[in-house]
Amino acid sequence: MNNKLDQVVVITGASSGIGEATAHLLAKDGAKIVAVARRKSRLDQLVKDIEATGGQAIAVEADVTAFEDMQCAAETAKDTYGRLDVWVNNAGVMPLSPVEMNRIDEWNWMVDVNIKGVLNGVAAAQPLMRAQGSGQFVNISSVAGHLVFPGAAVYCATKFAVRAFGEGIRMESDGSIRVTNISPGAIKTELTDHISVAEVKEGVKTFTEIAIDADAVARAIHFAVAQPADVDINEVIIRPSKQTL
């Protein structure tokens, strides 16, 4: 990497997948990482691994659906490292099912994590960013935030919401807070583990077979946060070369 990231970066959903890969990559390039997730043992291992390669990181056990937890993560970042430069809203769930199945508990779960989790992160971090006069949100949406797929209506709705909310932040920020929307396609993560409907899980098998590593998304995030302050990378769609949708 040519750039040295002298930034404090909070990453939700950092215990696996895109969040974990991003933590490793940004730490390797000099960022100070605040790794946030519910699975503390995984976070502790992540911090150990980062420190073993000369990086800096701390773990914060937290649930994105609880605003108080997000406040704690933001305050921990500031108390530990003196500021908060980037907040990566990465935590997400994807229990796909046809609408007619009325899996309301799963719908609520997606709304709570995928939408309210992002709202909570922004609400916790934005006051600190505004006080210091700068900051950046990186929101992980999906290609499902651009296209609607059968069996994924509610998931798509949550990811469309992430894009809309991020654009609103950008427009209201007067340039002091940058916003980047990252829309991954088929990526090797734990998201498909959330699908409990057998026929739907079989339907996404084609995507899992062509899925690319989470490192690809981490590199896109690195590119966005490494830009100078007057450059805002607003939208990145990243998917396997073989993915047509």
pLDDT averaged per 10 residues in sequence order, the chain, 245 residues: 80 96 98 97 97 97 98 98 98 93 96 98 98 97 95 96 97 95 90 72 76 96 97 97 91
pLDDT of residue 195: 76
pLDDT, residue 199, reads 74
The H-assigned helical ranges of the chain are 17-28, 40-52, 67-81, 104-110, 117-132, 153-172, 198-203, 205-210, 215-225
| Confidence (pLDDT) at 4 | 86
The yes-or-no answer on residue 155 being catalytic is yes
Position 117 scores a pLDDT of 98
Q: Fold for domain 8-237?
A: Rossmann fold (3.40.50)
Q: Exposed, middle or buried, 134 (CB in 10 Å: 0-12/13-18/19+)?
A: middle
Buried residues in 218-245 as b, exposed as e (16+ CB within 10 A): bbbbbebbbeeeeeebeebebbbeeeee
> Residue 188's pLDDT is what?
86
Of the residues 155, 160, 165, 207, only one is catalytic, namely: 155
pTM to 2 decimals? 0.93
